Amino acid sequence: MYKNEAIAIVKPLLTRQRFEHTLRVTETAVKLAEIYNVSTEKAEIASIFHDYCKYRSLDEMKRIIQTTYLPKDLLLYHHELWHGPVASLMIEQEYGIGDDEIKAAIYYHTTGRANMSDLELIVFVADYIEPGRSFPGLDEVRDMAEKDIVKTAWMVSRNTINYLMENKNRIYPDTFHAYNDLTRLLNGGNKFGQ
């Protein structure tokens, strides 16, 4: 699918702000893809669709989680976590986008997970650092993004967990798995889990 076609699909489904966020995530992800030798086409499509299901009704997302292979424990956690997994399924069903790497990047853009591919890391990071965002500690993460994508993703996951804990929110297991795995990589572990 071409970029313009993808943009035309998501635009009417998002608020203006969310659409502009999507464009900024896409631009950021493509830049990172160039730096880290990842397919810019995949970075583009994954980013454009990453919030594709952000505004689906909660009832519909719940139904999709209940009736497909998506893990049912998602329903025990905040509904903010549902739109990624649901979108990874819907882009295939509705637009025939079956690329596993793209689907995973969309699926895990909110939580991360263990053993993320470079494309997953890039979308996970781009969603967090896109230039429209501003909050304490973000500059440090932005500065790292073009130097070390693993270290950057580790910072994102650390900050996210800190934030959730400070706000007394529960934390989905994949968020911890991402943090643990990225910490292992930072300490010299390899991509094969050792």
Instruction: Report how many residues bind Fe ion under the rule CB under 5 A.
Output: 2
Angle at 36 between CA 53 and CA 38, to 5 degrees: 55
Quickly tell me which residue has 């996210």 as its tokens: 160
Q: How far apart are CA 146 and CA 152, in angstroms?
A: 9
> What is the 8-class DSSP label of residue 191?
T
Task: Mark the segment that binds Fe ion (CB under 5 A) among 124-132, 140-148, 150-158, 186-194.
Answer: 124-132
Site for Fe ion contains 127 (CB under 5 A): yes
What's the min distance (Å) between Cβ of 184 and Fe ion?
A: 26
Task: Locate 64 and state its tokens.
Answer: 């999709």
Among 43, 48, 51, 156, binds Fe ion (CB under 5 A): 51
What's the min distance (Å) between Cβ of 19 and Fe ion?
A: 11
What's the min distance (Å) between Cβ of 171 and Fe ion?
A: 16
Q: Which residues contact 185 (CB under 8 A, 6 or more apart)?
A: 150, 154, 191
Site for Fe ion contains 120 (CB under 5 A): no
User: Please, which residue, 29 or 38, has the CB nearer to Fe ion?
Assistant: 29
User: Please, which residue, 51 or 181, has the CB nearer to Fe ion?
Assistant: 51
User: Please, which residue, 127 or 181, has the CB nearer to Fe ion?
Assistant: 127
Task: Locate 29 and state its tokens.
Answer: 């992800």
What's the min distance (Å) between Cβ of 194 and Fe ion?
A: 32
- Cα 124 to the center of its chain, rounded Å: 4
Task: Mark the segment that binds Fe ion (CB under 5 A) among 4-12, 62-70, 123-131, 159-167.
Answer: 123-131
Q: Are 150 and 87 in contact (CB under 8 A)?
A: no
User: Please, which residue, 51 or 120, has the CB nearer to Fe ion?
Assistant: 51
User: Please, which residue, 24 or 185, has the CB nearer to Fe ion?
Assistant: 24
Q: Are 86 and 53 in contact (CB under 8 A)?
A: yes
Task: Locate 194 and state its tokens.
Answer: 């050792």
Interface residues with Fe ion (CB under 5 A)? 51, 127
